[in-house]
Homo-oligomer: A and B are copies of this chain.
Amino acid sequence: MNAWTGSNREIQIQEVALRDGLQGEVAFMPTDKKIDLIDRLTTTGLKKIEVTSFVSPRAIPNLADAEAVFAGIVRRSGVVYAALVPNLRGMERAISAAVNEVNFVLSASESHNLANLGMTCQKSFSAIREAAALSDQAGIRTAGSISCSFGCPIEGDIPAATIKEWCQRMIEQAGISSINLCDTTGMAFPAQVFDYVRNFRDQWPDIPLTLHFHNTRGLGMANVFAAIDGGATNFDAALAGIGGCPYAPGASGNLCTEDLVHALEVSGFACGINLDELIHASKELTNLLGHETFGQVAKAGNRLQSHPNPWGFDSKHLSKTSPE
C-alpha cells in the first residue's frame, strides 16, 4: 500500500469554518445563519464541528454569539460539537453551553503567543492546565492545539524539540486527551509533516492527533497525503477554504473541506461525508459572506461531473472510437 491509495481507510474530517474561518471575517454573520449552516453541516456526515470560540466578544466580534449558537443548533448523536476556549472564563461558558469538546490553544512560538494571545507561552500553559482540570471535572473532552507547529511568521522555524515538549506537557502535565498540530500560517511542507506525524505516533500511539493545515503557500493538500503517510487520520478543514492569514493578505486560508473530502474520496479513502451536501453548504457560506472564497471543487464540481463543452459542441452525437 502506497501513500496515495485509500483502500477504504477511514479519515476523519473536522469542520472549523465557523470558528477559524469566521474569526477573520469583518462582517458579522447573523446568529440564525450560523445555526442554519451548522445544522446543515450536521447532516453531511461530519463527525466533529468546531462551532465557535468562547473568547471575549471584544477580541472577535463575529463570535460574540457563542452561547446563542450553541443553544440554537440541533445536535445529532455521534457528532462532536467543539469550541475553542482561550481562558478560565471561556471554560465556564463552555461548560454552561454543554460543549462536547474544548480546544485549548498555545503557540509553539513565544513571539506569536505574545502577539496573538498577549501573554507568554508559560502563562498560556498555566491557564490551559487550570481550564483542563475544570473540563475534566465536567466530563468534557479536551484538545490541545499547538499553533505555529511548522513554523512562525515572526520567528521562522521552531525546533522540533520545542513542539514535542509542548505536546508532552499538554498530555502529561495538563492531562489533555488529544493534540492538534496547527500550521497556523501555512509554513508546513510534506517532508516535515511526515516526520512530525510519524514521531508523534511513535511516542504517543494512543493519543488522537489532528493536523490543521492552511493553504497559504499551496501546500495544504500535499501535506495531508504526507501526514497520512506518516500515520495521521484526523484533519481540520474549513468549508470554502475561508480564514485567510493576517500575515499573508490575499493568500489562501484554511485547507478547504470540500476540496479535501473530494481529494480523499476519489483516492479511495472513506470520509463518510456526502460531498454534494458539503458543496451545497459551501456555496451557501460563500453567498452569506458576499465575497469570493478559495474552494475549487465548489466551482469545478467533482472530477467526474460531466460538463457541456463551452463551444456548444454536442458530444452525444459522436461515435466514439478508440485508437486504431
Compute how far the CA of A29 lies from the CA of B94 in the bound complex, rounded to whole angstroms: 57
**Residue A35 is within 8 A (CB to CB) of chain B in the complex:** no
User: In the complex, what residue of chain B is closest to A262 when comparing beta carbons?
Assistant: B217
Q: Which of A1-9, A48-56, A134-142 lines the interface with chain B?
A: A1-9
Residue among A216, A222, A249 having the largest count of chain B Cβ atoms under 10 Å:
A222
Contacts of A193 in B (CB 8 A): 4
**Residue A77 is within 8 A (CB to CB) of chain B in the complex:** no
Residue among A194, A248, A256, A323 having the largest count of chain B Cβ atoms under 10 Å:
A323
Residue among A114, A151, A322 having the largest count of chain B Cβ atoms under 10 Å:
A322
Tell me the minimal C-beta distance from A307 to chain B in angstroms: 4
Compute how far the CA of A120 lies from the CA of B323 in the bound complex, rounded to whole angstroms: 10
Binary interface encoding of chain A residues 284-297 relative to chain B, with 1 for a CB under 8 A from any of its CBs, else 0: 00000000000111
Compute how far the CA of A84 lies from the CA of B121 in the bound complex, rounded to whole angstroms: 56
Q: Knowing A111-B315, A263-B217, A313-B115 touch, does A299 contact B249 (C-beta < 8 A)?
A: yes
> Are A217 and B248 neighbours in the complex by a CB distance under 8 Å?
no
Binary interface encoding of chain A residues 101-121 relative to chain B, with 1 for a CB under 8 A from any of its CBs, else 0: 000000000111011000011
User: In the complex, what residue of chain B is closest to A156 when comparing beta carbons?
Assistant: B304
Compute how far the CA of A216 lies from the CA of B153 in the bound complex, rounded to whole angstroms: 28
> Are B229 and A3 neighbours in the complex by a CB distance under 8 Å?
yes
Compute how far the CA of A261 lies from the CA of B191 in the bound complex, rounded to whole angstroms: 15
Contacts of A185 in B (CB 8 A): 307
Tell me the minimal C-beta distance from A131 to chain B in angstroms: 18
> Are A110 and B2 neighbours in the complex by a CB distance under 8 Å?
no
> Are A2 and B252 neighbours in the complex by a CB distance under 8 Å?
no
Q: Which of A14-22, A64-72, A161-169, A203-211 lines the interface with chain B?
A: A161-169
Tell me the minimal C-beta distance from A80 to chain B in angstroms: 26
Contacts of A323 in B (CB 8 A): 121-122, 125, 162, 165-166, 169
Instruction: Summarize A's interface: helix, strand, loop or mixed.
Output: loop
Copies of this chain in the oligomer? 2
**Residue A155 is within 8 A (CB to CB) of chain B in the complex:** yes
Kindly identify which residue among B6, B115, B263, B307 contacts A247, using a CB–CB cutoff of 8 Å: B307
Compute how far the CA of A144 lies from the CA of B222 in the bound complex, rounded to whole angstroms: 28
Contacts of A189 in B (CB 8 A): 263, 266-267, 303
**Residue A215 is within 8 A (CB to CB) of chain B in the complex:** yes
Compute how far the CA of A38 lies from the CA of B105 in the bound complex, rounded to whole angstroms: 47
> Are B153 and A121 neighbours in the complex by a CB distance under 8 Å?
no
Compute how far the CA of A187 lies from the CA of B252 in the bound complex, rounded to whole angstroms: 21
Compute how far the CA of A193 lies from the CA of B248 in the bound complex, rounded to whole angstroms: 31
Compute how far the CA of A256 lies from the CA of B304 in the bound complex, rounded to whole angstroms: 23
**Residue A301 is within 8 A (CB to CB) of chain B in the complex:** yes
Contacts of A245 in B (CB 8 A): 300
**Residue A219 is within 8 A (CB to CB) of chain B in the complex:** yes
> Are A300 and B229 neighbours in the complex by a CB distance under 8 Å?
no
Q: Knowing A5-B191, A187-B303, A320-B110 touch, does A218 contact B115 (C-beta < 8 A)?
A: no
- Beyond the given A121-B323, A151-B303, please list 10 additional residue pairs across the A-B interface where CB-CB is below 8 A: A122-B321, A156-B304, A162-B322, A166-B323, A186-B300, A189-B267, A217-B263, A217-B300, A218-B256, A218-B295
